[in-house]
């Protein structure tokens, strides 16, 4: 047996021992003072860490959607979306029409789920990916280092109809269904703005199924006794088309730009929007999908709910590539065409890997 094989076997044993279905919160509830080794970032990662707290003097763009129906202001909003999507890959939207009560109740529902009796949470536990609703320590068995968070995932083939209420945890059932309804409407609005920002018809991205194939992923980040050693979510880009994120008042989300981490400060009532790898491909690099992460915190819990749009499940056997209207003699395609099913399989096999699946298709 090689030393590397022994390390891998030891790590697998430790992961299985941790995977008690109590999650990271179970460790905190047990009163640990030092985090288990599986959460400690590699020494080379810690040694090269720059400003872990991020830059606080520059914010990602904040776009006000309150006057979206006004012709002149609408054009200004489209321009803001174009610049933010091309330069940052991230922006926040405010005055988006979703009642504050809906957002607050979604956050509260996630909190209640994670802080309920452990036996009730265990009923939702699983790693196989077959369940529509799963509570898990996300990516635990594929990653080199475990992330300091617990995750509740709701997989939807599309958002044309509500999920089966019986599949949702009772403690957050009503708030989740209401949240999904509003996020669907906002996604439709954003895809229209993004289409216009690319110089296309407002319905272009919607017509190719971008509003479908949604998963709601809720993260609960307990306070960490050694946040300098761990990450809530390690560095990655999102493989899908678009992500809409609700976060509570505790910060930690950071965006990588010009080799510097920038904090995405929580805005009361605001929602974070970020470009996914598939939209970078569709836009032929007009829009950017950028690396981001979440730091661990002494305080908590940090709570977030992300809506990941990854495309119409009925189009899995279709080919995708840069939108034809964006290609010209002076703007050649930067990606070869891909089969959506194969692309998503790469993303699922290593969801937070160092090499994003879009890199396999670059020309």
Assess whether pLDDT exceeds 50 at residue 1.
Answer: no
Provide the pLDDT for residue 280. Answer: 97
Window from 22-36, 187-201, 342-356 with minimum mean pLDDT: 342-356
CA distance 242 to 190: 9
Mean pLDDT computed over 130-159: 72
What are the residue boundaries of the structural domains of the chain, listed by start?
22-361
Q: For the chain, give the number of residues.
A: 363
Mean pLDDT of the chain: 86
Provide the pLDDT for residue 213. Answer: 76
Assess whether pLDDT exceeds 80 at residue 124.
Answer: no
C-beta separation of 231 from 56 below 8 A = no
Domain 22-361 classification at class level: mainly beta
C-beta separation of 61 from 88 below 8 A = yes
Provide the pLDDT for residue 256. Answer: 93
H-assigned helices in 88-172: 100-114, 118-122
Provide the pLDDT for residue 21. Answer: 67
Query: Could you give the strand order of the β-sheet that contains 231-236, starting from the edge strand earlier in sequence?
Result: 231-236, 292-295, 253-257, 260-263
Window from 120-129, 139-148, 193-202, 259-268 with minimum mean pLDDT: 120-129
End-to-end CA, the chain: 41
Mean pLDDT computed over 61-73: 93
What percent of the chain is modeled with pLDDT above 90? 58
User: Hey, what's the torsion of the CAs at 133, 254, 221, 179, to 10 degrees?
Assistant: -40
User: Hey, what's the torsion of the CAs at 293, 342, 180, 291, to 10 degrees?
Assistant: 20
Model pLDDT for residues 284-320, shown as the tens digit of each residue: 999 999 999 999 999 989 999 999 998 876 777 778 8
Q: How confident is the model at residue 158 (pLDDT cuts 50, 70, 90)?
A: very low
Mean pLDDT computed over 80-107: 98
Long-range contacts of 318-322 (CB under 8 A, 24+ apart): 320/278, 320/281, 320/282, 321/281, 321/282, 322/281, 322/282, 322/283, 322/284
According to DSSP, residue 30 is labeled T
Model pLDDT for residues 213-234, shown as the tens digit of each residue: 788 999 999 999 999 999 999 9
CA distance 121 to 341: 32
Provide the pLDDT for residue 55. Answer: 60
Provide the pLDDT for residue 137. Answer: 62
């Amino acid at each position: 047996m090689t030393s590397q094989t022994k390390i891998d076997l030891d790590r697998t044993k430790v992961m299985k021992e941790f995977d008690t279905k109590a999650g990271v919160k179970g460790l905190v509830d047990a009163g640990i003072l030092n985090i288990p080794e599986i959460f400690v970032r590699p020494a080379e990662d810690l040694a090269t860490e720059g400003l872990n707290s991020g830059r606080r003097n520059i914010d990602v763009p904040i776009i006000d959607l309150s006057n979206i129906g006004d012709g002149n202001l609408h054009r200004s909003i489209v321009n803001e979306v174009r610049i933010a999507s091309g330069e940052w890959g991230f922006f926040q939207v405010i005055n988006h029409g979703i009642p504050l009560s809906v957002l607050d109740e979604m956050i509260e529902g996630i909190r209640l789920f994670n802080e309920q009796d452990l036996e009730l949470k265990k009923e939702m536990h699983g790693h196989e990916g077959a369940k529509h609703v799963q509570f898990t320590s996300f990516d635990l068995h594929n990653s080199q280092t475990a992330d300091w968070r617990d995750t509740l995932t709701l997989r939807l083939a599309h958002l044309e109809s509500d999920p089966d209420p019986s599949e949702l945890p009772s403690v957050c059932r009503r708030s989740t269904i209401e949240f999904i309804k509003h996020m669907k409407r906002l996604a439709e609005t954003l895809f229209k703005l993004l289409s216009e920002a690319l110089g296309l018809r407002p319905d272009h991205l919607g017509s190719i199924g971008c509003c479908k194939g949604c998963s709601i992923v809720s993260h609960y980040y307990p306070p960490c006794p050694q946040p300098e050693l761990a990450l809530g979510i390690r560095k990655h880009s999102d493989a899908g088309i678009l992500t809409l994120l609700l976060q509570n008042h505790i910060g930690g989300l950071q965006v990588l730009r010009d080799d510097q981490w920038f904090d995405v400060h929580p805005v009361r009532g605001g929602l974070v929007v970020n470009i996914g790898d598939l939209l970078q491909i569709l836009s032929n690099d007009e829009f950017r999908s950028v690396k981001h992460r979440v730091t661990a915190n002494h305080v908590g819990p940090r709570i977030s709910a992300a809506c990941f749009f990854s495309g119409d499940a009925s189009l899995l056997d279709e080919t995708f590539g840069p939108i034809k209207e964006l290609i010209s003699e002076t703007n050649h395609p930067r990606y070869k065409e891909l089969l959506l099913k194969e692309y998503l399989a790469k993303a699922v096999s290593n969801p937070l890997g160092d090499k994003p699946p879009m890199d396999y298709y670059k020309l």
